[in-house]
A and B are shown apart, each in its own frame.
Chain A
């Protein structure tokens, strides 16, 4: 059984329909990429899964129906959303941000260990642990957002444009770490990326969104070979 099962998912901002019936699924331990141009509905897909926009349709997560819940109840199933623009609590310290990631957990000892593990992945955050998060650079805030998501010990991470605003070398480093997290800790991931070649390099499956519909789906390899995708999104 798939970890995440989505059927006929529609989403609305006010009267405007943005998603027009998505059907897709995600295997436990896999990395799935959602590709598409600006305005295709990539970010909305992630927001819809977390109950942050008005939706219709069915979403179930490891067998439990989550599509009618409030955001704070949905994430408690073990879904960590790293939002576009990072969602950092800018006036709290780095460490407080990370501890908030573990807010729903009841095992303080393991939380302490996980904090050290996050600091191993992102040593820069350890140097900045008592600094106000708003004073961190864009790259550091992105690491903080990923770190905070990890503190939840999620089964699924929803990553919205993790490369946004990062220098190329930082982006590469971040994706290496994401790949390592996926392998070592068996965290499934759903990644939204404008940078298609980057996303396809770590993903095993991918979907291409166009104006709120899935137009192409398949394994990352198949998508990479696909003529339209290559021309429109990979640029060769």
Chain B
């Protein structure tokens, strides 16, 4: 029982990180119909920025907020300067830009901070809370912080005029323009938000997987799996999917002996293929019908 609880909480902690990545991916997908393959590397880059801030003596939680803010501005600028010129040209153009961004951020991080693995601090105490034996305090902290961030995002989209305008712009750009919404800027805001949420994921997972330029590769894959499982057209579903993938991956790794930790990533890939084959709209997604 104790082993199961240990695995479950560890899975939920990873799940929170995957949920953030899944949400970031879904936000951009909803507005543009494309997966942002660079989402993981953008988050990795944000984490390096946080690392630099911390090593210059900025307190942890200030770093956390500052890194989110810097990532937000960076995301907006990427959309305005790099993505916007190819928007709506062709699928291939956009995908190539995303992959280009992925490579650029990866190499840039390696060039600035070197490829050696670096430790990243956790703001939470090392000792387990109340002397319990089934959940580490960092895991608990990750679950808590991701839930707060995700709930904040929900409140923003549900209750603020800008959030409403962003949803409208993603759904029906032509009608959004007719009520005076600047659709281009809404897209840029979406990129900014996605980058900031990605930063949260990177900063929280860095103490567990260590900081290096390829740290987010597999995590983005799990995020994709979560987004697809929950439904790529449904942000709440994607968050649920992220948590589900985290738990699933950890439990399968722990209980199915031939998978262990070596084949864990395969679980995500099998899940992606299974969802695409058997239920392309995911658990909670809309079935998108295109008339041709």
Contacts and interface: CB of A to CB of B under 8 A. Distances in A.
Interface of A: 50, 52, 70-72, 75-76, 80-81, 83, 87-92, 96, 99-101, 103-104, 148, 152
A75 B179 contact: yes
A76 to B, nearest CB: 5
A150 to B, nearest CB: 12
Contacts of A148: 179
Interface stretch (B3-11, B76-84, B180-188, B274-282): B180-188
27 contacts: A50-B178, A52-B174, A71-B178, A72-B183, A75-B177, A76-B180, A80-B178, A81-B178, A83-B174, A83-B178, A87-B174, A87-B175, A87-B178, A89-B175, A89-B176, A92-B167, A92-B168, A92-B171, A96-B164, A99-B161, A100-B165, A103-B164, A103-B165, A103-B179, A103-B180, A103-B181, A104-B179
Contacts of A75: 177-180
Nearest to A75: B180
Nearest to B286: A91
Given A89-B168, A92-B168, A99-B161, A83 B175 contact: yes
B172 A87 contact: yes
A39 to B, nearest CB: 21
Chain B interface size, under 10 / 10 to 19 / 20 to 34 / 35 or more = 10 to 19
Contacts of B176: 89, 100
A152 B175 contact: no
Interface of B: 161, 164-165, 167-168, 171-172, 174-183
Contacts of B165: 100, 103
A71 B182 CA distance: 9
Contacts of B183: 72
A50 B167 CA distance: 22
A101 B177 contact: no
B177 A91 contact: no
A89 B178 CA distance: 12
A71 B179 contact: no
Contacts of B180: 72, 75-76, 103-104, 152
The 8 closest A-B pairs by CB, nearest first: A87-B175, A104-B180, A71-B177, A72-B177, A75-B180, A76-B180, A81-B178, A100-B179
Given A89-B175, A103-B179, A152-B180, 15 more contacts: A52-B174, A70-B177, A71-B178, A72-B177, A72-B180, A72-B182, A83-B175, A88-B175, A89-B172, A90-B172, A91-B171, A96-B164, A99-B164, A103-B181, A104-B179
